[in-house]
Amino acid sequence: MQILSGKEVAQHVYDTLTEEAEQFLEDFGYVPTLAVVLVGEDPASQSYVAGKKKACLSLGFGHKDYHLPADTSQEQLLDLIHQLNEDSSVHGILVQMPLPDGLDPDKVIQSISVEKDVDGFHPQSVGNLLIGNPGFVSCTPQGVMEILDYYHIATAGKHAVIVGRSNIVGKPMASLLVQKGRDATVTICHSKTKDLPSITRQADILIAAIGKPHFVTSDMVKEGTVVIDVGINRIEDASRKRGYRLVGDVDYDQVAPHCNAITPVPGGVGVMTIAMLMKNTMQAARQFANKEVK
Ligand code: NDP
């Protein structure tokens, strides 16, 4: 059984991006720059935003922080995004979700210029992914593909079963795997799926993106499968200083002995998301620079 270390893959991505950022600066005289907008005081969002800033700084990317109060109006937020769309020193824009009540996430996402949509959430980016056109891809499923590629796990002709149909994980994951060139046969499951274990047991590659700790048990997997655990769940743990620990959607101890390969939590898919955000920011800057040159 092989443990698919997201940590190792993310480090590889960061090493490549560090070199690319140096070369980019030499070629164009500026660095790829990400603007991160946080509205409100949600502690989890604050910590995600801090992680993104840290990644930018460690790669030598530019970073612009916008922290707005929770009572920011829709109009004020859209105004800021409009300014960032027009700002040629900003190549990628990320608005941290979830937004406080009263702000419409769909309108906010749609207001971000597609060229700067490094989260890949804009409907046009999602459409591009679906029809196989170039564009930004949602970071978490892209991170899963990066792990599969790094460990040379072929997807062609394999039956990939995805549990979860969210717009940020399950659906883009399915779009990626079914693309020409990836060539998986894809089944998407959700909370209304009947007899889920009978479907997950058919998976050559099982991707769990459910949000329920230890949901996937050993009776739900076939021998020799590849399991990708996207879930990140907090469960109480009095032995830990912070009072909780992170576990995936897969019961790792039970399932791992039956797998050919599996991602751990933490240290699996989770660490890939920011790495892919940085990769998308590099891509956004490159596209901007190429346009400027023309
Ligand atoms: P959502 O809550 O948006 O989606 C969960 C999906 O799981 C839904 O489609 C839901 O079905 C399905 N589901 C829930 N219960 C069951 C069930 N009993 N049987 C089958 N399907 C079920 O979650 P996300 O996609 O945003 O996130 C999923 C997990 O991935 C979470 O643990 C989250 O923390 C983690 N995550 C990790 C990221 C990272 O690595 N950086 C990034 C994003 C998410 P239905 O649609 O019918 O309700």
* Residue range(s) of every CATH 3.40.50.720 domain in the chain: 139-270
158, 187 contact by CB (below 8 A): no
Q: Give the tokens for residue 72.
A: 């920011």
Q: What is the pLDDT of residue 173?
A: 98
Calculate how far, in angstroms, residue 211's C-alpha sits from the geometric centre of ligand 1: 4
Q: What is the CATH number of domain 139-270?
A: 3.40.50.720
| φ and ψ at residue 285, rounded to 5 degrees | -65, -40
User: Would residue 54 show up in a list of annotated catalytic residues for this protein?
Assistant: no
Q: Give the residue among 37, 137, 56 at the shortest CA–CA distance from 96.
A: 37
* Residue range(s) of every CATH 3.40.50.10860 domain in the chain: 28-113
Residue 293 in this model has a pLDDT that exceeds 90:
no
- Interface ipTM > 0.95: yes
Does 191 appear as a known binding residue? no
Q: Which of 116, 117, 119, 204 is catalytic?
A: 119
Q: Is the CB of 211 under 6 A from ligand 1?
A: yes
202, 220 contact by CB (below 8 A): no
To 10 degrees, what angle do helices 43-59 and 6-28 make?
60
Calculate how far, in angstroms, residue 164's C-alpha sits from the geometric centre of ligand 1: 5
Pairing of strands 62-68, 244-247: unpaired
Q: What is the mean pLDDT of residues 12-21?
A: 97
Closest ligand 1 atom, residue 192 Cα: 47
User: Would residue 119 show up in a list of annotated catalytic residues for this protein?
Assistant: yes
To 10 degrees, what angle do helices 270-293 and 139-150 make?
100
Q: Which of 52, 158, 171, 279 is catalytic?
A: 52
Q: What is the CATH number of domain 28-113?
A: 3.40.50.10860
Give the C-alpha separation, 189 to 200, whole Å.
9
The predicted-structure confidence for 43-67, as pLDDT tens digits, reads as follows 999 999 999 999 999 999 999 999 9
Q: Is the CB of 232 under 6 A from ligand 1?
A: yes
3-state secondary structure of 206: strand
Name residue 184's amino acid: A
The predicted-structure confidence for 94-126, as pLDDT tens digits, reads as follows 999 999 999 999 999 999 999 999 999 999 999
User: Would residue 249 show up in a list of annotated catalytic residues for this protein?
Assistant: no
Name residue 287's amino acid: Q
Q: Is the CB of 190 under 6 A from ligand 1?
A: yes
140, 186 contact by CB (below 8 A): no
Q: Is the CB of 169 under 6 A from ligand 1?
A: yes
